[in-house]
Every structure is written in structure tokens, then in C-alpha cells.
Copies of this chain bind each other. A is one copy, B any other.
Amino acid sequence: VTAAPAVAPRADDEGRFARGALVGTGYIGGSLALALTHAGRVGAWVGCDADRERLGRARLLGLVRETAPSPAEAVRGADLVVVAVPVLAGPAVMRAIAEAVRPEALIVDVGSTKQSIVAAAATLPDPGRFVGCHPIAGRERTGPEVADVNLFRGRYVILTPVAETAPAAIEAAAALWRAAGARLTQMDPAHHDEVMAAVSHLPHVVAYSLILTLAGLSGEVGRDLVGMSGAGLRDTTRIASSSPEMWRSIFLDNRACVLGMIEAFAARVDALRRLIATGNGDELVRLLTEARAARARILEQPGS
């Protein structure tokens, strides 16, 4: 790693950062680096990644200009730090950079859970300069090869500042995401984790369980179902192609909320099962009709 250049230690008046550290060079981190470079918000990125091979690819792809052997080395001299690792690894990264990061640097993350990373920010020299961020974007892709400069365009990013977060840090983080084309909203970290357990983590549990059910069918049925599904199964299980590592991390990090949602879901499945078993067609139609209306309501974009 090259020595840190002599630059302003934080964003200038135009919201530009001279040196960004990207800890984790996967799809989301790589896309954010691309978008901020493209928007002229970050002069140069130094990247690091526990997967050295992926880090090499991110550099060859031009997502980062330099590489560093560790998070602590990467953040030295940086005025912006982006933590983009699987959420279970986030707190360890925060501890690893605590000694080396400039107190004035803005630190953001992109993880799908927020309570643990926000708690880990307490180890930073200035916890007020950390802003938890969750971009609602990603689909089932992985790796720096598919990094997309437009990934965040028009998508929501949830900021999860807490009482000690500096208002200037919140504004600086918001400005970065706006530069990447995102729309912003804010939530308390615990509330965020509950909402995401509902709209994202539970659907992943469900999609994985559904495909595992089919995979577990033996004999002729297991053989003949191959290729016999319409678009329904394809769409219902699309997110079961997501990264196993990332989802292990999310399920375990947000364990309590996810378990609560699974319990609520299992009760709903059982309610439908009972209506089918008893042949209660009227109540079935009522519930299925309610589901259709609820879906339209839940998927509607606020303000649209």
C-alpha cells in the first residue's frame, strides 16, 4: 500500500472526498465505489478484502486504485470509509479500523442489518462520524465483476443514525447516496432490523425452504418436476440464488427478528393448511383475496 497522500482529512465544501477506503470489494461495495467515483465525489479508492483474489479482480476492474492488506491499512489517511462486508463480519471490521482511522473520517456501511454494526461503532475514535446505511438494492448478484454504477439509482437507502450521530455526518452520508442517485429515508436501527426481517429476510427463508422442499422430493416426482414449472416457481425462488455466505450472515446477525417472522409465517401456512384440509372454500377465497389486496398495498412505493 502506498502512503496516504497529503489531503484534506474530510470532505471539502463540495462534499468531495480525496481518499476513500473500501473494506469489502463485492457487488454492493464495488457498485458504490463506481457510483461515487463517477459522480466525482471520491478522488481515489484504496480497497481491501479478506478474499485476496477478489480484491485483485476489483483492482484490475478499476473499482479501486490501490489495495491494502488489512482494513487498518486501508483506512489510514482515508477521509471516507465504506464498510461493505457480510454483516456478521462488520463489527470486527469496526474494531480493526478503530486504531487507524482518522477521527474526522466519515464512516458508512451498506449492510442489511443495523443493530450490531451501530453498536460496534462505539469502539471508533468518534462514533458520531459513523452513519449506518442500508441500500435496498442488490438482487442475487455477487462479486466485483457485476458492479453497476447505476445500482442505486432511484432505490431507497435507509439511514439509521442514533442520538450520538453528528448531524453533519448524517448530511454528508445522505449527500453521497444522493450523488449515487438514491432516495433516502431514516429508521431507528432496531426498527430497521424488524422491518427488514419482514420484507427481506423472511422471504429469503421462504424461498430457500421452498426450493429445498422440491430438491428433497425423491423418485419419479422429484425427477419429473424438472423443467415443468412455469414462471411462478422461477420468480418465487429467484432470491434462493443469493449468496449463501451473505445470507448465513444476515440470518444469524438478525436472529431474533428473523425467528419471530418465521414463527408468524409458520402460523399463516398452518392456517391455510387447515382451510384446505377442512375444505373451507369461502374462507379460502376471502384470505386469498385479502392477500392480493395486501400485496398491492405493501409493494406500493411511498410517495408514488
Interface residues of chain A, those whose CB is within 8 Å of chain B, are 88, 136-139, 155-156, 158, 185, 187, 191, 194-196, 198-200, 202-217, 220-221, 224-242, 244-245, 247-248, 251-252, 255, 258-259, 261-262, 264-266, 268-273, 276-277, 279, 281, 284-285, 287-292, 294-302, 304
Q: A199-B229, A265-B269 are in contact. Are A298 and B224 (CB under 8 A)?
A: no
Q: How far is the CB of A207 from chain B (nearest CB, A)?
A: 6
User: Are B285 and A233 in contact, CB atoms less than 8 angstroms apart?
Assistant: no
Contacts of A226 in B (CB 8 A): 297-298, 300, 302
Q: A235-B236, A265-B269 are in contact. Are A195 and B221 (CB under 8 A)?
A: yes
Q: A224-B195, A288-B247 are in contact. Are A206 and B206 (CB under 8 A)?
A: yes
Out of B138, B225, B234, B299, which one reaches A233, CB within 8 Å? B299
Q: How far is the CA of A191 from the CA of B227 in the complex (A)?
A: 15
User: Are B265 and A210 in contact, CB atoms less than 8 angstroms apart?
Assistant: yes
Q: How far is the CB of A16 from chain B (nearest CB, A)?
A: 29
- 12 A-B pairs besides A139-B230, A211-B291, A237-B295 with CB distance below 8 A are A203-B210, A205-B273, A208-B291, A209-B269, A212-B287, A213-B261, A215-B298, A216-B264, A237-B299, A240-B288, A248-B288, A262-B276
User: Are B236 and A272 in contact, CB atoms less than 8 angstroms apart?
Assistant: no
Nearest B residue to A262 via CB reads B273
Query: Nearest 3 pairs between A and B by C-beta?
Result: A215-B294, A244-B288, A199-B229
Q: A272-B209, A273-B262 are in contact. Are A198 and B227 (CB under 8 A)?
A: no
Q: How far is the CA of A261 from the CA of B158 in the complex (A)?
A: 37
User: Are A284 and B195 in contact, CB atoms less than 8 angstroms apart?
Assistant: no
Contacts of A235 in B (CB 8 A): 235-236, 238-239
Q: How far is the CB of A257 from chain B (nearest CB, A)?
A: 9
